[in-house]
């Protein structure tokens, strides 16, 4: 019964979620989860890489097909123009009598053959197997390039998304400041009417409101610029409406910040490491392919031929008078090539050594990336805590300063100064929250666990 009662509520929530993920009246209401989903579906670079993956799969199957025998059907037809018949004479003795015999040889002008050809590689010095492995590594590399490009795009999207949220939060902060300024303006007007304060204070209060309104206009422009940038990254129409529903809040990272632990994760999961390992494997296979040129190549070939010759063309296809077949074992032994094979091997070995150096440099860079990310994350965490305390202190101080001003104990300028202080620490707090989210995302990327970051933000 409880499930039945909750059913309309569940349907309502489901419809709300659908509305958020799809355009409404030429507009989009999106969460970070929706943004990441749209990115994977609409980004042209990712779509292009998917097509490249399909091409690499076809190349892998092409390389694999070289292991199998080939069977071909071949047909030939030819015409030989006969100028005149050839006359032959022969002499032979029959008893005591010598006999001369003559005859004419007529050539048949139309010749047709149908051949069934067979070929099977038996030994190529490991060249075919190495080529298959290399094609497989190329496919794996292209799939990793897709993941790397996806990571890069997600990084840009997350930065753009939180940049938009930052300006939205700053706009809210300025609007709150404007509301406080208007309340203060009403208080000053009342005091002016009673003759308790000089007229200059009302002018200062109005000017302060105008300054805040100017800040709101400026930050609204930044909001629109950030929206256009996000629409560009998402490949959405620039004239469409875009709203985001996530709020900026502090969410601590869910993994332990131990350097050794994070380094081991990175060595296992980091896409750059896997890509470099694939490239290293490819260079090793290139050396094997180059060295395979020193070995003989052995092929088994065979053919079966039907042959027809007639005076009329169409009859040469209908009547095959002769058949031929053969089976051959072809062996090709390289003897001299002017140093071509030696140069290829030397070149492949040099590229392999270069790739080994690159692989070690990438491993070294991981330690640096993780070290820097941990330091930045801890710094920003401390900033968040500090700026939160500063906001609370600034609010309390502002409350006290306003009370003193209303009591006639201090000048209006001190109220404005404290309002500015509250605005500055509020903006610093917003910037720290945004920087924390981006730094946290970069740490996940540094250890090759961007999937975990997506799960954390979309759960």
> What tokens appear for 160 in the block?
């753009």
| 324 CB burial (10 A radius; 0-12, 13-18, 19+) | exposed
pLDDT tens per residue across span 190-201: 888 888 888 899
CA dihedral over 395, 397, 400, 401, signed as positive or negative: negative
> What range does the domain containing 230 cover?
24-68+124-295+339-458
Q: Is 430 within 8 Å of 154 (Cβ atoms)?
A: no
Q: Lowest mean pLDDT of 116-130, 319-333, 428-442, name the range.
A: 319-333
Query: For residue range 59-88, what is the model confidence (pLDDT) as tens digits?
Result: 999 998 988 999 988 887 776 665 555 555
Average pLDDT score over residue span 293-312: 78
Same domain, 134 and 88: no
Instruction: Please indicate, yes or no, if residue 11 is contained in any of the structural domains.
Output: no
153 and 256 part of one domain: yes
Contacts of 110 (CB under 8 A, 6+ apart): 77, 78, 79, 309, 310, 311, 312, 313, 315, 316
pLDDT at position 142, please?
92
> Are 158 and 260 members of one domain?
yes
Query: CA-to-CA distance for 130 and 282, rounded, in angstroms?
Result: 9
CATH number of the domain where residue 135 is located: 1.20.1600.10
Q: 76 and 53, same structural domain?
A: no
Do 193 and 274 fall into the same domain?
A: yes
What CA–CA distance (Å, rounded) separates 439 from 224? 24
Residue 126 φ/ψ region, left for φ over 0, alpha for ψ in the -120 to 50 degree band, beta for the rest = left
Which residues make beta-bridge pairs with 327? 302
Q: What is the pTM of this model?
A: 0.73
- Which is more confidently placed, 110 or 57? 57
Backbone angles phi, psi at 36, to 5 degrees: -65, -35
Task: Provide the residue count of the chain.
Answer: 459
Q: 116 has which bridge partners?
A: 73, 304
The pLDDT tens digits of the residues spanning 230-268 come to 999 888 898 999 999 988 888 888 888 888 888 888 888
Classify residue 108 by its DSSP letter.
P
Q: Both ends of the chain: CA-CA distance in Å?
A: 29
Q: Which helix (H) or strand (E) holds 98?
A: strand 97-105
Among residues 307, 333, 359, the one where a domain terminates is 333
What mean pLDDT comes out for the span 19-31? 62
Of 20, 247, 244, 32, which is closest to residue 158 (Cα–Cα)? 32
Write out the two tokens for 406.
């209303």
Give the H or E element holding residue 229: helix 199-234
User: What backbone torsions phi and psi does residue 229 show, to the nearest 5 degrees?
Assistant: -65, -40
Position 381 scores a pLDDT of 92
- Residues 385-397: what's their mean pLDDT? 94
Q: What is the pLDDT of residue 274?
A: 85
Instruction: Judge if 271 and 325 occupy the same domain.
Output: no
**Residue from 51, 77, 64, 207 nearest 130 by CA:** 64
Same domain, 136 and 59: yes
**Residue 82 sits in the same domain as residue 211:** no
Q: Confirm whether 19 is domain-assigned.
A: no
**140-163: average pLDDT:** 92
Residue 223 scores a pLDDT above 90: yes
Question: Are residues 108 and 64 part of one domain?
Answer: no
Q: Which two tokens stand for residue 300?
A: 């088994």
Residue 2 domain-assigned (yes or no): no
Which among 270-274, 363-367, 412-416 has the top mean pLDDT?
A: 412-416
Domain count, the chain: 2
Percent of the chain surpassing pLDDT 70: 84
Indicate whether 1 belongs to any domain.
no
Query: Does residue 433 belong to any structural domain of this protein?
Result: yes
Q: What is the DSSP string of 309-365?
A: EESSHHHHHH---EEEEEEEEEEE-----TTHHHHHHHHHHHHHHHHHHHHHHHHHH
- Residue 309 in domain: yes
Q: Which residue has the tokens 């897709």?
A: 146
Pair 188, 254 in one domain: yes
Residue 368 within any structural domain of the chain: yes
Residues 400 and 434 in one domain: yes
Q: Nearest Cα to 299, choosing from 161, 170, 153, 128?
A: 128
On whether residue 162 sits in a domain, the answer given is yes
* Statement: residue 370 has pLDDT above 80: yes
Q: Over the chain, what is the mean pLDDT?
A: 83
Q: Are residues 226 and 241 in the same domain?
A: yes
Res 280 pLDDT > 80: yes
> How far apart are the C-alpha atoms of 28 and 227, rounded to whole Å?
11
Q: Mean pLDDT over residues 144-154, rounded? A: 91
């Amino acid at each position: 019964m409880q499930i039945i009662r909750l059913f309309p509520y569940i349907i309502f929530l489901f419809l709300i979620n659908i509305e958020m993920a799809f355009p409404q009246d030429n507009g989009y209401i999106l969460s970070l989860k929706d943004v990441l989903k749209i990115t994977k579906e609409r980004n042209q670079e990712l779509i292009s890489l998917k097509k490249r993956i399909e091409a690499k799969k076809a190349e892998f199957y092409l390389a694999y097909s070289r292991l199998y025998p080939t069977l071909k059907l071949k047909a030939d037809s030819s015409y030989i123009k006969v100028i005149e018949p050839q006359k032959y004479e022969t002499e032979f003795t029959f008893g005591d009598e010598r006999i001369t015999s003559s005859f004419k040889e007529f050539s048949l002008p139309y010749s047709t053959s149908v051949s069934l050809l067979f070929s099977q590689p038996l030994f190529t010095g490991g060249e075919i197997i190495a080529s298959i492995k290399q094609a497989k590594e190329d496919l794996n590399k292209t799939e990793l390039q897709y993941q790397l490009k996806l990571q890069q795009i997600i990084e840009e999207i997350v930065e753009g998304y939180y940049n938009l949220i930052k300006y939205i939060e700053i706009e809210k902060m300025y609007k709150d400041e404007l509301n406080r300024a208007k309340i203060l303006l009403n208080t000053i007007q009342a005091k002016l009417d009673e003759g308790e304060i000089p007229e200059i204070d009302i002018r200062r209060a109005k000017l302060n409101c105008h300054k805040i309104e100017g800040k709101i206009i400026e930050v609204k422009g930044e909001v629109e610029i950030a929206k256009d940038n996000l629409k560009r990254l998402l490949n959405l129409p620039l004239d469409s409406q875009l709203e985001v529903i996530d709020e900026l809040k502090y969410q601590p990272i869910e993994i332990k910040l131990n350097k050794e632990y994070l380094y081991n994760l990175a060595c296992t999961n980091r896409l750059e490491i896997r890509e470099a390992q694939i490239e290293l494997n490819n260079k090793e296979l290139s050396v094997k392919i180059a060295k395979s040129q020193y070995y003989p190549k052995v092929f088994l070939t065979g053919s079966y031929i039907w042959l027809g010759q007639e005076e009329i063309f169409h009859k040469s296809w209908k009547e095959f008078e002769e058949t031929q077949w053969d089976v051959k074992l072809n062996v090709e032994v390289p003897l001299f090539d002017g140093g071509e094979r030696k140069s290829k091997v030397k070149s492949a070995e040099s590229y392999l050594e270069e790739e080994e150096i690159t692989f070690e440099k990438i491993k070294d860079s991981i330690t640096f990336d993780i070290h820097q990310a941990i330091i930045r994350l801890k710094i920003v965490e401390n900033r968040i805590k500090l700026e939160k305390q500063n906001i609370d202190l600034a609010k309390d101080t502002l409350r006290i300063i306003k009370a003193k001003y209303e009591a006639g104990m201090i000048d209006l300028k001190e109220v404005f100064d404290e309002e500015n202080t509250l605005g500055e620490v509020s903006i610093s707090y917003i910037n720290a929250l945004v920087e924390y989210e981006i730094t946290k995302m970069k740490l996940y990327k540094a250890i090759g666990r961007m999937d975990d970051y997506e799960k954390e933000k979309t759960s």
